[in-house]
Amino acid sequence: MSYGDDRTYKKVEVIGVSKKGLEDAIQVAVSRAQQTLSKVSWFEVGEIHGHVSPDGKVSEYQVVMKVAFELT
């Protein structure tokens, strides 16, 4: 890639879920997207949600994000 060349990227919205924390939830979604999409170039976090178990502990983090990759 050189700056100035015609290129097209695509962004896909995914939600990564992990009980470990925010960074891990991001990595879960990136890894999953990498499997079936082209190589992910970057991500952008949209919203951060999570589930709480009955004992009041955060049981998982849900990160709504976009992953982007080049359409080659």
- Interacting residues with a copy of itself (CB under 8 A): 3-19, 21-23, 26-34, 36, 39-45, 47-54, 56-61, 64, 66-68, 71
CB of 60 to a copy of itself, least distance (A): 5
CB of 70 to a copy of itself, least distance (A): 9
CB of 72 to a copy of itself, least distance (A): 10
8-state DSSP, 49: E
Residue 60: name the closest of 14, 13, 28, 12 by CA. Answer: 28
Residue 14: name the closest of 59, 5, 36, 60 by CA. Answer: 36
